[in-house]
Structure 1
Amino acid sequence: MKRFEELFAPHMDAAYNLARWLTGNESAAHDVVQESAFKAFKFLHRFTDGNAKAWFLTIVRNESYNWLKASASNRWIAIGDEISEDDLALSHSQTPELYAMHAEDAKRVQQALRALPPAYREVIVLKELEDMPYKDIAKVVDIPIGTVMSRLARARTLLKLELLKLHNHE
């Protein structure tokens, strides 16, 4: 138990952040992180003193996609959900990058990020919000470093386009 806490407790915020952005659902993110922590604990014997954050976030990523697949048939229920001011304030406290921005700008960035396909959203979250190196993102997402870089470049372009669309609709 002590080894688990030392290795993974420091990465719980990053795990929640990734799960929240991938699932698009705060409650699901909590469930995903809890299930991921359980699996990390259960399979701790398989972790061989590598990068604990990358190993744990790989589990979180996989669990997030499992949640998305399982909830796909119920997806229509969540489409109409809007971000309340309380949710916006909560997300500000969890992502320092967004906290510094004006509330309206933060809302636009969140909307634009949610509009990105998950494959692009996850590399943006891991690089820009979690400040992970390319090699660690490659481990988490299970793609080559070159693909991480090209996907990140594409994700940034798509994010800019989404932000422009949102700006032009005002």
Structure 2
Amino acid sequence: MENFDLFESLYRSYFSKAYRAAFLVAQDENIAHDSVQEAFLAACEILKKSPINLSRFQALVCAIATKKAINFIRNKSKYVLIDESFMDTIVSLNTNLEVSPDTITDAENRMDLDYALKQLNPIYRQILVLKYYNDLSENEISKYLGVPVGTVKSRLYRARMFLRNFFREQNEGAGCDEKG
């Protein structure tokens, strides 16, 4: 990037958010750091070729960082854990997971969600991170990941369905009657 001051400013402003997004997907500090460094380089290359609104730079670099994290994970051929604060964010959302607050405490709910998220393919975790942690729309996720909007929607749907089914099975296993 020709303007080093701009690069440094963008890096200082958005490193922690991009690192957090990559870490939520990979659950590995080294992968997160490598992903973010590559994401900033790639985002700056994009800026050189076609300048974007700098207010959207954070979304761009976070999306690239999560994509890079997925690539690193694929190369390592293993699945990873999910961050507890991200789980708290998901639990706090009204996601209609059909979990009765009368039957499962918040702590049990977080533990179950942690276990469920660990079972998700990192690609589905990536979509959840970009949607709920970075507050991106399906269209923005599609643009930044370079996949069709339909793919984003189907991955988001599959991730939600996985979580919903997981909690249904947990409720049934606990002897809870579930109606509906």
Alignment partner, residue 68 of structure 1: 73
Alpha-carbon distance in structure 1 between the residues aligned to 2:147 and 2:139: 10
Between Structure 1 and Structure 2, whose CA radius of gyration is higher? 2
User: Deviations 1:34-65 (Å, cap 9, x if unpaired)?
Assistant: 34335445665235124313321232133212
For normalisation by structure 2, the TM-score amounts to 0.66
Q: Between Structure 1 and Structure 2, which shows a larger proportion of helix residues?
A: 1
- Aligned-CA RMSD value: 3.4
Paired residue type of 2:89: E
- How many residue pairs get aligned? The number is 157
User: Deviations 1:95-126 (Å, cap 9, x if unpaired)?
Assistant: 76268694443232222122112222211221
Alpha-carbon distance in structure 1 between the residues aligned to 2:167 and 2:24: 17
Alpha-carbon shift at residue 156 of structure 1 (Å)? 0.7
Paired residue type of 1:46: K
Alpha-carbon distance in structure 2 between the residues aligned to 1:18 and 1:6: 19
Taking a change above 3 Å as real, the CA distance of residues 11 and 69 of structure 1, as seen in their structure-2 partners, is same
Alpha-carbon distance in structure 2 between the residues aligned to 1:112 and 1:33: 26
Alignment partner, residue 2 of structure 1: 5
Alpha-carbon shift at residue 158 of structure 1 (Å)? 0.9
Alignment partner, residue 124 of structure 1: 128
Taking a change above 3 Å as real, the CA distance of residues 40 and 95 of structure 1, as seen in their structure-2 partners, is farther
Alignment of 1:131-142 (within 5 A): 131-142=135-146
Alpha-carbon distance in structure 1 between the residues aligned to 2:167 and 2:15: 29
Taking a change above 3 Å as real, the CA distance of residues 26 and 159 of structure 1, as seen in their structure-2 partners, is farther
Match of 2:19 among 11, 16, 22: 16
Alpha-carbon distance in structure 2 between the residues aligned to 1:167 and 1:19: 32
Alignment partner, residue 49 of structure 1: 52
User: Deviations 1:145-170 (Å, cap 9, x if unpaired)?
Assistant: 23322321222111112334455666
Residue segments in structure 2 that go unaligned for 5+ positions in a row: 93-104, 175-180
Residue segments in structure 1 that go unaligned for 5+ positions in a row: none
Alignment partner, residue 89 of structure 2: 97
Alpha-carbon distance in structure 1 between the residues aligned to 2:113 and 2:87: 12
The question of 1:150 aligning with 2:154 is answered yes
3-state SS of paired residue (1:16): helix
Alpha-carbon distance in structure 2 between the residues aligned to 1:106 and 1:140: 30
Alignment partner, residue 100 of structure 2: none
Taking a change above 3 Å as real, the CA distance of residues 150 and 71 of structure 1, as seen in their structure-2 partners, is closer
Paired residue type of 1:97: T
Paired residue type of 1:25: D
Alpha-carbon shift at residue 20 of structure 1 (Å)? 2.0
Alpha-carbon distance in structure 2 between the residues aligned to 1:53 and 1:40: 10
